[in-house]
Amino acid sequence: MINLKKILVMFLFSISFIIFSTIGNAHAATDDSTSLIPKMSSDNSPSGKAIGIYDWSKPYLAFDGVPHYYIDGAFHAWGTSSTTGWIGYEFNEPKVLNKYVLYYGESQSSNPGLLSTVPNSWTFEGSNDGENWIELDKVSNFTSWKNGENAFEIDSRASYTHFRINVTKNNGSVSNQVNLTIHELELWGYDAADKPNPEPKPDPEPMPDQNRAILVITLVNGVQKEYDLSREEVNSFISWYDSTNGEKSYSINRTNKNKGPFKTRKDYFVHDKILMYEVSEY
């Protein structure tokens, strides 16, 4: 005899496996962000260019793959004697970032006050010419540095060739030989050509005729009449009103509001019965 209960359980298990497998694959497909900067051995090698101001160590040391200030007898961080400054990276092709990562690495340096030299306040910026910069992120009074990775998300999905961190305040050091340091900086994202397609925007609604206006006529008894007219029709009414006295009437065709089998329907106005009128162009 066929065990229907067993068959039903196996069927439900198979459906559940297919559903969860599909969800997992869909999630993995969207997680395409990668670290974009290669391990730099100089400001221009192996590719791209490390950029920034320096008077103590070159910018590429913030991209050399070593998240420490000083270790194994060598310096591995960008630093300057100033309390402010900036460094960044220039790509050969436009990139889209979704986060940047600053590393703080406890080191073997004789200087125990490294936390006083890390950034405290800064803007993270993008540019396509290295001169005009767009703010992508802003951080103020950041003091909760962790040993290792400190990640900051970027909401903008615009593409740029240049990115930089522009430090406006360090964490307190003022009298050391080096007062501002960045141990390691990573930029995460993807090539602009691989940028995920945004959801299509609906077609904009057609713009109304720019030569039309709403004419509202208020009668002396308080009744208001409203008409959607061409600018030419409105001008004709205004010309009649400004040049007419007495009881001579003026007709306005309201064909667009016809109800019934009529070729035309018109409202007739007597000049003396009009209290005021209003014109609203659109």
Q: What is the mean pLDDT of the chain?
A: 80
Terminal Cα-to-Cα distance of the chain (whole angstroms): 79
Between CA 69 and CA 184 the distance in angstroms is: 8
Region 65-71: what's the mean pLDDT? 87
Number of helices (H) and strands (E) in the chain: give both, helices first.
2, 17
Q: What is the pTM of this model?
A: 0.59
Q: Are residues 83 and 149 in the same domain?
A: yes
Q: How many residues does the chain have?
A: 282
The domain total for the chain is 2
| CATH, residue 101 | 2.60.120.260
pLDDT of 113 over the 70 cut: no
Under the banding of pLDDT at 50, 70 and 90, the label for residue 34 is: very high
Query: What pLDDT is recorded for position 20?
Result: 36
Q: Are residues 99 and 180 in the same domain?
A: yes
pLDDT of 241 over the 50 cut: yes
Percent of the chain with pLDDT over 70: 75
**Torsion sign (Cα): 263, 269, 270, 271:** negative
Q: Are residues 53 and 168 in the same domain?
A: yes
Between CA 170 and CA 178 the distance in angstroms is: 11
pLDDT of 103 over the 70 cut: yes
Q: Are residues 182 and 118 in the same domain?
A: yes
The continuous run of DSSP H or E covering 14 comes out as helix 4-30
Range of the domain at 263: 212-281
Q: How does pLDDT run across 183-233, given as a tens digit for each residue?
A: 999 999 998 887 655 555 566 655 555 688 888 999 888 888 888 888 888
